């Protein structure tokens, strides 16, 4: 009997050792089969009970059952240990580093032309100019006729202009804003004019998109202009010169440049001039660059604004914003601005 007890104790110890040595659940199940399976060592012992006398059978059965419980306890302990290890491993593998910086939405930046536009608005704003916005699909009247541009003027040709049905065009310049803004201004101050009293001056810039049938390194079918208009009772060409020189110096942050007014022709100004500038230093030093059309507002245009040309006089200019942005940022092809290539655009953000 002692023999049986010690062999049962050995069996339990063997089983516990085998279970503990199993590195995976699958191998643990194999080890289990060797003790508790159909022909496992414990199962064989239980089968052997059949051959014993009833008294013996009862005592031996109880001992075997006790051993079986110990083997099962060892098995469950190992199962639990393997499951715990697996969970710990999984937690380690899926660990989150909460000290990592969070994911932020991508940062946008302003387009260089927008930057130039905002800069222009800021500079003219500081000189007391209002900023106005107007339609890009413009009536023939505002784009041409009111600006003293006759029906047969070359600027009206199909070649230069995108025509839209119904007497509309994609505006070919920002000059229609001269009329739109002035007409509103005059309407607002009608009571003063009716009473023969002086009207506050018109002082406005109107930046925005403009369109022409044109495309090369310095022309795009869509481009940007800024219109400037200053009308009062005593506004002369020398005011235009002072304002424009101040603007260009502020825009390029240097006084190291020259500006010249070159006689030109526009139907809506008389006299008219192109404004050219020349840097004294830098990669473009010494070259005259055209940046704007300008002139004294034509008497017929003053009349179309609803004002008396005998009393009111002023100047206007229309400058290429893209050209100014190219010069400021050293960009040599206008089309880069409108290709939408982020490698180019990110440099300005
Ligand atoms: N609108 C003219 C152009 O686009 C520029 C201009 C504006 C000229 C105002 C004179 C006065 O070429």
At 257-304, the pLDDT tens digits run 999 999 999 999 999 999 999 999 988 899 999 999 999 999 999 999
Ligand 1 centre distance from Cα of residue 293 (Å): 5
Ligand 1 centre distance from Cα of residue 140 (Å): 16
Ligand 1 centre distance from Cα of residue 296 (Å): 11
Residue 243's pLDDT is what? 98
* Pocket residue to mutate for ligand 1, from 153, 175, 324, most atoms within 8 A of Cβ: 175
* Ligand 1, CB cutoff 6 Å, lining residues: 173, 175, 266, 269, 272, 293-295, 316-318
At 167-189, the pLDDT tens digits run 899 999 999 999 999 999 999 99
Residue 6 has pLDDT above 80, yes or no: no
Ligand 1 centre distance from Cα of residue 93 (Å): 68
At 297-308, the pLDDT tens digits run 999 999 999 999
Residue 155 has pLDDT above 70, yes or no: no
Residue 217's pLDDT is what? 82
* Pocket residue to mutate for ligand 1, from 134, 268, 314, 320, most atoms within 8 A of Cβ: 268
Residue 1's pLDDT is what? 47
> What is the overall mean pLDDT for the chain?
93
pTM of the model: 0.72
Q: What is the mean pLDDT of residues 236-250?
A: 97
Closest atom, ligand 1, to C-alpha of 272: 10
Neighbours of 190 (CB within 10 A): 11
| 153 burial via Cβ count (<10 Å: 0-12, 13-18, 19+) | middle
Q: What is the mean pLDDT of residues 105-126?
A: 95
Residue 215's pLDDT is what? 86
Closest atom, ligand 1, to C-alpha of 178: 9
At 68-91, the pLDDT tens digits run 999 999 999 999 999 999 999 999
Residue 3's pLDDT is what? 63
Ligand 1 centre distance from Cα of residue 200 (Å): 24
């Amino acid at each position: 009997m002692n023999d049986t007890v010690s062999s049962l104790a050995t069996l339990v110890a063997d089983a516990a050792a085998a279970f503990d040595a199993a590195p995976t659940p699958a191998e643990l199940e194999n080890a289990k089969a060797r003790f508790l399976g159909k022909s496992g060592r414990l199962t064989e012992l239980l089968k052997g009970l059949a051959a014993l006398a009833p008294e013996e059978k009862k005592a031996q059965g109880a001992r075997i059952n006790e051993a079986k419980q110990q083997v099962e306890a060892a098995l469950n302990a190992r199962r639990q240990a393997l499951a715990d290890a697996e969970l710990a491993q999984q937690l380690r593998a899926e660990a989150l580093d909460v000290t990592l910086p969070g994911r932020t939405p991508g940062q946008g930046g302003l387009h260089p032309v927008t930057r130039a536009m905002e800069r222009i608005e800021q500079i003219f704003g500081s000189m007391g100019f209002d900023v106005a916005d107007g339609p890009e699909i413009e009536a023939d009247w505002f784009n041409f006729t009111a600006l003293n541009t006759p029906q047969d003027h070359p600027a009206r040709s199909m070649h230069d202009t995108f025509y839209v049905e119904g007497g509309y065009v994609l505006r070919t310049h920002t000059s229609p804003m001269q009329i739109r803004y002035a007409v509103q201004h005059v309407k607002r101050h009608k009571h003063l004019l009716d009473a023969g009293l002086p009207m506050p001056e018109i002082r406005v810039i109107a930046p925005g998109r403009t369109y022409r049938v044109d495309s090369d390194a310095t022309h795009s079918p869509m481009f940007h202009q800024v219109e400037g208009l200053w009308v009062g009772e005593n506004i002369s060409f020398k005011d235009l010169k002072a304002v424009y020189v101040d603007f260009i110096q502020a825009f390029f942050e240097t006084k190291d440049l020259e500006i010249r007014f070159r006689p030109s022709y526009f139907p809506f100004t008389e006299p008219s001039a192109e404004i050219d500038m020349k840097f004294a230093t830098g990669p473009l030093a010494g070259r005259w660059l055209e940046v704007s059309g300008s002139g004294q507002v034509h008497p017929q245009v003053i009349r179309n604004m609803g004002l008396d040309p005998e009393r009111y006089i002023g100047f206007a200019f229309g400058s290429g914003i893209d050209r100014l942005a190219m010069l400021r940022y050293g960009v040599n092809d206008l089309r880069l601005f409108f290709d939408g290539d982020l490698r180019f655009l990110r440099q300005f953000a």
